[in-house]
Structure formats: C-alpha cells, structure tokens
C-alpha cells in the first residue's frame, strides 16, 4: 500500500512538472510581448532601452487603431447577441428534442469546430462577393457567427443537461404554462451557461483573424486584422501594445467565464 502511494505521488509530481513546463513554454512569449509594449525604442527591441506608455497612448489616440478597436467591439457584441438568440433554442432542441436527424443536426452545428477556418473563409468570401456583402459589417457578423455559435451551443447545452427538469414540471403542475416554466424556472437556472456562451462567442469574434482578413477592407478592419496589416509594413511597438490589449481582454473574459461557471459546477 505504501509503495502504491509513493507511485501515485511520483506520477502526480511528474504530471505537475510537465504541466508547469508546458505553461511556461506557452506563457513566456506573451510575457516578452507585454514587456515590448512598454519599450521606449521606436522598434521592437529587447531588452528595452527604456520604459514608456506612449505606445498605449498612440493606440487609443490614433484614429485608425481606435476605429479597429471599436469595430471589434461592435462586431463582437452583435455576434454575442445573435449567438444567444440562436443558441438558446438550438440547445433546447438538441438536448430535449426527439426527432429524426437530431444527431446530424448536432454535427452540423458543431462542424465549424472541425472544418479548417481557411476553408470556411474562402467559402464565405465567395458568397460575400456573390451577394455584394464583401467588406461590410454584415459579412463580418455572419462569418464570425458561424464560428462562434458552436461555442455558445456547447455552453448552453451543458448547463441544460445538468438542469433538473423536475423543477420545470413542478412549476407546470402549479399552473404555469410550458413557456412560462421555461422562462421563470429553466432559463434563470441555466443563466451561468448562457452568460458563458455569450462571453465565449464575443471572445471568438474578438480574436478571429483569418475570417476577418477575407472580409476586411482598408476602411473596415478589426483589431486583429489591423495588427496583421501593420506587422507586415512596420515593427512599431504599437503592435505589441495592441497585442497586450487583446491578451488582457481575453484573459479577463476567460476569468469571468470561469467565475460564472463555478457556482453551477458546485451545484
């Protein structure tokens, strides 16, 4: 018995060491990127010769950079709203529905997680050109919605599967209608999953670059596209400042999702 405990202990420490090494490997480049965003040099030089916040000031005062940030927020918000409007009823259908082709429908909604993004981008670009939507907010929203919706559906479906349906039936016995029970009992109970799905949808739209490159024009760019375009022409530390903004916003959203999911996991 003591030998087995020692073996389990050794495996635990080995796994912990491997996990720590992988985390360091992934996070160290981000650390250097954040450091470069405070670089006093006009170019991306490491170690920085001095420290300054001027690149963040330029990021939020330069009209082109500011416009790309606003575009990313607008598109992300609209994608989040549509992901919830479509994701909630779709999740109910996939979790509670009993109809032919349910498995195929589930595979259809989750297929953007499997299909390479570049293939989706080329197909959507062709459709956008056909319908005259290339370079419009509508094209951005449709493109981002396709890749963001599966994440919303997964989060909402997960919450719905753990919900005790007897509570909904009890409300109906007390006189509530089916829709009334769902509105007053079910939706508030799965609210953490709905919020998490919406935040993940916003995050996917906020970080998406491949689809955005195909849909972008010089007058309409999201922040990731602006970073990519600027990186090809310049190595200004503003790029590092913009990337730091993306990292901080992404981390904040992920932490918020974890905070929302924790109470539900404890139940």
- List, for residues 35-86, the tens digit of each pLDDT value: 888 877 777 767 777 788 888 888 888 888 889 889 999 999 999 999 999 9
Round the CA-based radius of gyration of the chain to a whole number and report it: 23
The pLDDT value recorded for residue 5 is 47
Q: pTM for the complete prediction? A: 0.81
The pLDDT, as a whole number, for residue 262 is 64
Give the number of C-alpha atoms closer than 13 A to the C-alpha of residue 63, restricted to the C-beta side.
Answer: 2
Contact between 87 and 156 under an 8 Å Cβ cutoff? The reply is yes
**First-to-final CA distance of the chain:** 34
* pLDDT of 145: 93
DSSP symbols for 163-224: S-HHHHHHHHHTT--HHHHIIIIIHHHTHHHHHHHHHHHHHHHHH--HHHHHH-BTTB--HH
The residue ranges of the chain whose pLDDT is under 70 are 1-9, 45, 260-267
Give the pLDDT score at 1: 45
User: What's the rounded Cα separation, in Å, for the pair 91 and 111?
Assistant: 15
Supply the pLDDT for residue 265.
53
| pLDDT, position 147 | 93
How many Cα atoms sit within 13 Å of 147 on the Cβ side?
Answer: 25
Burial class (CB in 10 A: 0-12, 13-18, 19+), 210: middle
Q: Rounded CA gap, 161 and 102, in Å?
A: 16
Domains of the chain: 63-266 (1.10.3720.10)
CB-count burial class (<10 Å; 0-12, 13-18, 19+) for 158: middle
pLDDT reported for residue 153: 92
């Amino acid at each position: 018995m003591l030998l087995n405990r020692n073996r389990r202990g050794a495996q635990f420490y080995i796994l912990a060491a491997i996990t720590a090494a992988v985390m360091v490997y992934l996070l160290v480049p981000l650390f250097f990127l954040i450091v470069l965003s405070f670089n006093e040099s006009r170019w991306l030089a490491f170690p920085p010769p001095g420290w300054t916040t001027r690149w963040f000031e330029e990021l939020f005062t330069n009209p082109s950079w500011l416009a790309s940030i606003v575009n990313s927020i607008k598109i992300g918000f609209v994608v989040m709203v549509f992901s919830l409007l479509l994701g909630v009823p779709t999740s109910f259908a996939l979790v509670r529905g009993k109809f032919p082709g349910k498995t195929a429908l589930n595979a259809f909604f989750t297929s953007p997680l499997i299909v390479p993004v570049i293939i989706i981008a080329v197909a959507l670009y062709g459709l956008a050109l056909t319908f005259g939507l290339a370079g419009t907010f509508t094209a951005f929203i449709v493109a981002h919605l396709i890749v963001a919706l599966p994440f919303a559906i997964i989060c909402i479906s997960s919450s719905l599967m753990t919900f005790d349906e007897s509570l909904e039936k009890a409300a109906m016995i007390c006189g509530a209608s089916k829709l009334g029970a769902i509105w007053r009992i079910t939706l508030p109970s799965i609210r953490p999953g709905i919020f998490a799905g919406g935040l993940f949808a916003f995050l996917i739209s906020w970080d998406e670059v491949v689809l955005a490159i195909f849909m972008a024009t010089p007058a309409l760019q999201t922040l990731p596209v602006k970073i990519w375009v600027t990186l090809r022409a310049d190595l200004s530390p503003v790029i590092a400042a913009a990337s730091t903004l993306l990292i901080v916003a992404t981390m904040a959203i992920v932490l918020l999702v974890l905070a929302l999911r924790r109470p539900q996991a404890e139940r």
